[in-house]
Amino acid sequence: MPKVSEIIDLDQLDPRQFSTWPFSQDYCVTCGLCSSSCPISGVDDFDPRKLVRMVSLGLKNEIVESRWPWICTMCGKCEYVCPMDINIPGLVRNIRAIRERDKVPGILHKGLDAAIRTGNNLGLPKEDFVFILEDVGEEVAEEPGFEGFTVPIDKKGAHLLTTIHNKLVNTHTDDLKHWWKIFYAAKEDWTVPSDEWEGTNWGLFTGDDEAMKTMVGRIANHMETLQIKNLLWPE
Amino acid sequence: MQRRTLIIGSGTCARNMAEDLLSLDIEIIVAVKDEGPDFSLSNHTQHASAEVLKHTRLVKCRGSVGDFTVFMDQKGETVERNVSNIIIAEEDTREPNFALYGLAPSSHIISSSQLKDLLNSPGEGALLSGEETIVFLSGILDESNPVITKEIMLCSLRLQSEFKKQIYILTKNLKVAGDGLEVLYRKTKDAGVVYFKFADASPSIEQNRNGRAHIAFNDEVTNQQFRLTSGITVVDETIKPSDYLSELSKILRVDRDNAGFAQTGNVHRIRVLTNRKGVLAAGPGRAVQSAEEHMADASNAVLRVLEFFEQEEPEAIINKAEINRSKCVRCLTCYRRCPYQAIQLDTKPVVVQEACEGCGICTAECPKGTITIKGLSGSEISDQIIKPDSVNSGKIFVPFIVAFCCRRSAARAWELAIEAGHNLPPGLRIIELPCAGSISYDHIFAAFKKGADGIMVITCHEGNCHSEKGNIFARQRADMVFEFLTQMGFEKERLIIKSLAANMAMEFSEITSGFEKQIIDLGASRIKPGG
Amino acid sequence: MNVNGKSVFVVGGGIAGLSAALELARLGVGVELVEKEDVLGGHTRQFTCKATDKCVRCGACIVEEKLKGVSDNPGIKVHLGSHMEKVESSGRFVVSLADNKGSSHSCETDAIIITSGFSPFNPAGKPYGYSRFDNVITNLDLERLLRKQSLVTRPSDDKAPEKIAFIQCVGSRDAKLNHLWCSKVCCGSALRMASLIRSRQSETGVTLFYMDVQTFGRDFQRFFNKVKNDVRMIRAIPGDVFKTEDDRLRLTYFDSAASEPREEIFDLIVLSVGLTPGTDLARLVAQLNIELSDSGFVSTPEKGSGTHEDGVFAAGTVLGPMSIAESVASAGKAARDVVEYLKI
């Protein structure tokens, strides 16, 4: 069983290090309910209770360097069952936030970096994005009952703005059609932005509040610029 | 009758009872073995007086409830008093668990009492100011209890918030089964106390040459190893009866528990009774318990005393034992057997009526049959052994089963079984006895002579007998009868001895029905009724 | 001391109410014992004896002699299937008693002792399948079962279970539910029943999932050492219970020692549910001007048995979780306090 660290002197420990964190982590009674419920308990020796305990004990280096906080899917089942109401997903996120940005695990870091620079996790240029949307839009228009369908892009004054998950313009373009058919049948007056359209905000997962704010800010900006009052953000 | 009670003890429980009894016009004598605290008892009425005897230890006690003569030693002088009741509320002691953890006390290894003293003394000692870390060892080798845990938590709360120390508490099972302890536990964690709990493994604890403890352990949650070689180590304590408390039980002839407290765990003693009428055990004299529980004991003890003086009619009419002095050969068997210490020696043994519980153990044990209790004589019992009608009717063999039932357990279970409509053998006849210990050879043989095909003796479970040992005496009697029947060439399987509790109707039905089947297999008894 | 002519209402006929009634009747106080069910005895009357070769001191059997004591005592008037409908206090209390059939009558009393007991936690909201899976029961269900039949069987098919799991602290020590207390008696109840089952049904294995084992009784260390050899103790609270295709139960828990999640199959799961405030408390608060503590049990400001309302006292589990012995002691305390109050 991998150890967290070499033997630690209690005298060197600073359990108060994270005491200001608002997740009630110190109230843990080590009942093990979280670990018993977690769907990935046991993967690489991870279990959520360990993280709560490490924060409570102030094991800062260990917690920042550990892979465990990044294995968590933040599904929230642990929080649901915890009798002490400890916000474990929130705790996990905070641990992620204190790691240096360039040490954030590869794909999350790369994707978020791309999103901040280019407006989407893939770094997909605007023309390519529009091309894909129109292309799929044409396929929809060919289906019976959807004659005349078009994808409204950057439509000012529309009723509803929606974001796009990057996989829908990458590996799962067909899944775009489900939403669009519903909009069409409901005669919804909707639109997507041509730029800075990314709905998958990985700042949530990497504990990067600044990045989260930037990306949310972009969508808010669209709503102001396009004068749209309603937002659909299916994440 | 004088209304005077002796209270032995000096703690809050004893003082509380003293005040309370005085307010009820009951005189009190308080015997304190040492100097004790300041006893400022208000004289509530002109009738009731209060006497506080310091440096006074009980050495002897004669008499019985309502009329005890106590002999006490006060600095070499004998003090004699007459009282109606005695309440044992003597303080317990705290034994620090240094040896248990393999440690010797030092300037850096102290007990929780020493810590409390340090915290409460002005100038809190240089000892604390030099150290940042304090580790409590509690309930690691032996299980602890909520009284100790509460003290440790309160101490650590102060140390953490007032003295800015970092507290670590090492324990196996955290004892929070006490009022407000879960909330207190949470408060200590708010203040920054850190707990390490162990399931099966224990921390390794050693003492360095400089007198400090070296503690190393594996945190079972993170699998991380920790150690401490500095700071102060506080060992917990075991709450025990003092030597004087153990002595008191012997002098007053009350049954003790395995630890030495003046009350057994027998549920019939709940809350402050002992096996001896007129002698009560309260507060620290009774068991390991919290301060609030001490106070509840005090109220209950006062009620018992009040009831003794005020109750006009006894709750239930009990037939008491009487010894025929002319036939008595003074073997003293009854004196030694009486579980309630209700037999006094006045040249020959005499049953103290007030103290007698009518259990009948003495009548059964007396080798000369000189002790009688109304309703328990051989003929009186024999008269009750009547075959139920169902036994005589028809060609099918319906066994006649006589069940001697303790009135507190078996007979109650029988009533519940009837209420619940459980199956009972049609040939069953219940003979209710005050205690299974009152069953004699006469009774058993009377049953056989009356034509019983099978005989049951149903007692309370071991440890549940109101007379503490009645069921054991019944077992001894049954064993002798088994032996006798075997020698006689008679089926010893026709006698059976079982135990059960008052609330087990189903079990009563099961054991009687099961026995009936056995008897059906054996067939009818060869002993013909009559003669 | 003169309490002649005084009367006291005892509300609730469980172990505390029976004890208080007997204490007062012995001192000549007139007692009216009000019980909402059709029988006296409360929860204690439903418990089983847990003796193996000897008594384990649970205290359940003492309710029987108290029941007999009350029914034999002419000074105690029992009102079954009844509850207090209205209470007016002006010196004495004027109580309107209603019974389940709808009729009511009014009577006067000098003091009231509330001994209305507790409510066992309903674990249907926990992910253990209670009320969905027949073979997931509470410790109270198990007490009732063992009282009726000496051998444990599964509710779904009446067969003896090969493996039983006890899960402790269900509904207790739970900040989410606002139940920040240990219910004190569940460890004792579960371990004694586990021990009993093991002694009668040696083919049945028992596992106990716990957080912290609480101390109970006088000789706890000895009992605990023995029971640890007989019952498999696992320091983890299980997360989920699923039903298998062959009507068994799959339970998930985290094995700290191995640092691995585990799934294990059991035939019967017993949830040790906590003691929570009684359901009648809302009504009693309205009727009597008493107050509740943060935990929802009746508050006694002076730490005695007196509530916030003059002349109204409380004893037993209506005050908070406590054992049978503690309930009897609590009732004694209340009786003493009432006697003091009646002298005024």
Angstroms from B440 CA to nearest CA on chain C: 23
Same structural domain for residues B136 and B216?
Answer: yes
pLDDT number for residue A5: 65
CATH number at residue B178: 3.50.50.60
CATH number at residue B396: 3.40.50
pLDDT number for residue A6: 86
pLDDT number for residue B394: 75
Q: How many residues does chain A have?
A: 235
Residue B46 has pLDDT above 80, yes or no: no
Helix and strand element counts for chain A (H, E): 11, 4
Q: Fill in the DSSP letter of residue B221.
A: T
The pLDDT tens digits for A32-44 are 999 999 999 999 9
- Range scoring the smallest mean pLDDT among A221-225, B507-511, C66-70, C299-303: C299-303
CATH number at residue A82: 1.10.1060.10
Q: Which residues of C169-196 are buried (b: 16+ CB within 10 A; e: fewer)?
A: bbbbbbbebebbbbbbbbbbbbbbbbbb
Residue B55 counted as domain residue = yes
| Half-sphere exposure at residue A36, Cβ-oriented, CA atoms within 13 angstroms | 29
Q: What is the CA radius of gyration of chain C?
A: 22
Same structural domain for residues B99 and B226?
Answer: yes
Same structural domain for residues A154 and A85?
Answer: no
Helices (H), chain C: 15-26, 62-72, 139-148, 186-200, 220-230, 281-288, 324-342
- Rounded CA-CA distance A69/A43 in Å is 12
Contact in structure between B237 and B111 (CB atoms under 8 Å): yes
Same structural domain for residues B449 and B506?
Answer: yes
Same structural domain for residues B330 and B210?
Answer: no
Same structural domain for residues A216 and A156?
Answer: yes
Cβ neighbours of C287 (radius 10 Å): 22
The pLDDT tens digits for B488-506 are 999 999 999 999 999 999 9
Q: How many CB pairs under 8 A join A and C?
A: 65
Residue B355 counted as domain residue = yes
- Rounded CA-CA distance B204/C176 in Å is 36
Chain A partners (3+ C-beta pairs within 8 A): B, C
State the residue for tokens 């004896």.
Answer: C49
The CATH number for C7-117+278-342, chosen from 3.40.50.2000, 3.40.50.920, 3.50.50.60, 3.40.50.1360, is 3.50.50.60
Helices (H), A68-208: 68-71, 77-81, 88-97, 106-118, 126-141, 176-185, 203-206
Greatest distance between any 2 Cα atoms in chain C: 70
Angstroms from A75 CA to nearest CA on chain B: 22
Q: What is the CA radius of gyration of chain A?
A: 22
Residue B315 counted as domain residue = no
Q: For residue B155, give both structure tokens.
A: 């101490």
Angstroms from B169 CA to nearest CA on chain C: 15
Same structural domain for residues A55 and A115?
Answer: no
Q: What is the mean pLDDT of residues C230-256?
A: 96
Q: What percent of chain C stands above pLDDT 90?
A: 90
Angstroms from A40 CA to nearest CA on chain B: 16
Same structural domain for residues A127 and A171?
Answer: yes
Pairing of strands B109-111, B232-235: parallel
Residue A76 has pLDDT above 70, yes or no: yes
The pLDDT tens digits for C113-128 are 999 999 999 999 999 9
Q: Is the peptide bond before C200 cis (omega within 30 degrees of 0)?
A: no
Q: State which of A78, A99, A120 marks the end of a domain.
A: A99
pLDDT number for residue A2: 46
Please list the residues that pair with B281 across neighbouring strands: B88
The pLDDT tens digits for B184-224 are 999 999 999 999 999 989 999 999 988 899 999 999 999 99
pLDDT number for residue A57: 94
- Rounded CA-CA distance B16/B4 in Å is 16
Residue A1 counted as domain residue = no
Residue A3 counted as domain residue = no
Residue B122 has pLDDT above 80, yes or no: no
The pLDDT tens digits for B376-414 are 999 999 999 999 988 876 788 999 999 999 999 999 999
Q: What percent of chain B stands above pLDDT 90?
A: 85
Task: Return the SS3 of B513.
Answer: helix
The domain segmentation of chain C, as residue ranges, is 7-117+278-342, 121-274
Residue B466, C-beta contacts closer than 8 angstroms, at least 6 positions apart? B266, B268, B357, B359, B408, B435, B460
The pLDDT tens digits for B308-331 are 998 766 667 789 999 999 999 999
Q: Which amino acid is at B132?
A: E
pLDDT number for residue C275: 98
pLDDT number for residue A1: 37
Residue A212 counted as domain residue = yes
Q: State which of B205, B238, B271 marks the end of a domain.
A: B238
Among C53, C218, C332, the residue with its CB nearest the CB of B303 is: C332
Residue B527 counted as domain residue = no
Q: Which amino acid is at B490?
A: F
Residue A73 counted as domain residue = yes
Q: State which of A99, A124, A142 marks the end of a domain.
A: A99
pLDDT number for residue A89: 96
Same structural domain for residues A217 and A127?
Answer: yes
Query: What is the average pLDDT value for chain C, to the nearest integer?
Result: 95
* Chain C environment of B499 (Cβ under 8 Å): 51
Same structural domain for residues B270 and B336?
Answer: no
Distances (CA, A) of B351 to B25, B28, B143, B361: 30, 27, 44, 12
Residue A135 counted as domain residue = yes
Same structural domain for residues B417 and B505?
Answer: yes
> What class is the C121-274 domain?
alpha beta
Same structural domain for residues A161 and A190?
Answer: yes
Same structural domain for residues B112 and B206?
Answer: yes
Tell whether A5 lies on the interface with B, counting CB pairs under 8 A: yes
Number of compact structural domains in chain B: 4
Please list the residues that pair with B227 across neighbouring strands: A9, B216
Among A10, A49, A53, the residue with its CB nearest the CB of B228 is: A10
Tell whether B292 lies on the interface with C, counting CB pairs under 8 A: yes
Residue B209, C-beta contacts closer than 8 angstroms, at least 6 positions apart? none
* Chain C environment of B220 (Cβ under 8 Å): 256-257
Q: Fill in the DSSP letter of residue B38.
A: -
Same structural domain for residues A75 and A113?
Answer: no
Tell whether B138 lies on the interface with C, counting CB pairs under 8 A: no
- C-interface mutation test, from B174, B236, B267, B507, most C Cβ less than 10 A away: B267
For residue B301, give its domain range: 4-92+241-310
Among A1, A16, A50, the residue with its CB nearest the CB of B192 is: A16
- A-interface mutation test, from B137, B221, B223, most A Cβ less than 10 A away: B221
Number of compact structural domains in chain A: 2
In angstroms, the first-to-last Cα distance of chain C is: 11
- Rounded CA-CA distance B57/B526 in Å is 63
Same structural domain for residues A47 and A163?
Answer: no
CATH number at residue B357: 3.30.70.20
- Rounded CA-CA distance C224/B144 in Å is 12
Q: Which residue of chain C comes nearest to A41, CA vs CA?
A: C261
Q: What is the mean pLDDT of residues B411-424?
A: 96
Q: State which of B238, B261, B290 marks the end of a domain.
A: B238
For residue A208, give its domain range: 108-232
Same structural domain for residues B247 and B222?
Answer: no
Confidence band, pLDDT 50/70/90 cuts, at residue C102: confident
Q: State which of A52, A69, A99 marks the end of a domain.
A: A99
Residue A5 counted as domain residue = no
State the residue for tokens 């010797």.
Answer: B104
Inspect the interface and report whether the beta carbons of B503 and C28 lie closer than 8 Å.
Answer: no
Same structural domain for residues B234 and B294?
Answer: no
> Nearest-5° angle of CA B431, CA B433, CA B439?
95
Alpha-carbon B138 to chain mean position: 27
- Rounded CA-CA distance A206/A95 in Å is 9
Instruction: Please provide residue C209's backbone torsions phi and psi, each rounded to the nearest 5 degrees.
Output: -95, 125
pLDDT number for residue B288: 96
ipTM for the predicted complex comes to 0.96
pLDDT number for residue C89: 87
- Range scoring the smallest mean pLDDT among B386-390, C15-19, C159-163, C189-193: B386-390
Residue B530 counted as domain residue = no
Cβ neighbours of B443 (radius 10 Å): 25
Confidence band, pLDDT 50/70/90 cuts, at residue A60: very high
Same structural domain for residues A127 and A225?
Answer: yes
